[in-house]
């Protein structure tokens, strides 16, 4: 099993807790399945198996996370949570990402 598959397994493990919240679903983003609220993605497993989440920039800094880099540029409100950080950290940060995107999505 490669890292992408391992990352997807961890996301699948934490997804039921998030999918029980209102207006959430699994959606596609960057050739990967991810969690969304009202159609806006807030978490997905990257091709390297890491979790990518949408959070406020200051929270990304506070958590000591790196920004996702796309097309050579860091994305200000997208952070990478390493696969090695484990399911408990992924669960906690995914919950924060859900709350953030839920609060900014009409």
| CATH number, span 3-104 | 3.90.1150
Q: What percent of the chain has pLDDT over 90?
A: 89
Q: Which of 74, 75, 82 is closest to 50 using CA atoms? A: 82
Task: Quick: pLDDT tens for 32-80.
Answer: 789 999 999 999 999 999 999 999 999 999 999 999 998 999 999 999 9
Taking each helix axis as running N to C, give the angle between helix 87-104 and helix 3-19, from 0 to 180 degrees, rounded to the nearest 10.
Answer: 60
pLDDT reported for residue 30: 67
The string of pLDDT tens digits covering residues 54-64 is: 999 999 999 99
Whose CA is closest to 10, among 32, 41, 37, 39? 32
Model confidence at 92: pLDDT above 80:
yes
Query: Domain spans of the chain?
Result: 3-104
Q: Comparing C-alpha atoms, which of 65, 38, 49, 56 is closest to residue 11?
A: 49
The model's pTM: 0.94
């Amino acid at each position: 099993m490669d890292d992408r598959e391992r990352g997807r397994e961890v996301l699948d493990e934490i997804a039921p807790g998030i999918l029980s919240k209102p207006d959430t679903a699994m959606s596609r983003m960057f050739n990967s399945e991810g969690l969304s609220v009202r159609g806006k993605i807030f978490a997905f497993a990257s091709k390297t198996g890491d979790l990518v989440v949408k959070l406020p920039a200051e929270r990304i800094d506070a958590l000591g996370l790196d920004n996702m880099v796309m097309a050579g540029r860091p994305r200000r409100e997208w952070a990478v949570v390493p696969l090695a950080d484990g399911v408990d950290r992924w669960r906690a940060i995914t919950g924060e990402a859900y709350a953030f995107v839920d609060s900014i999505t009409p």
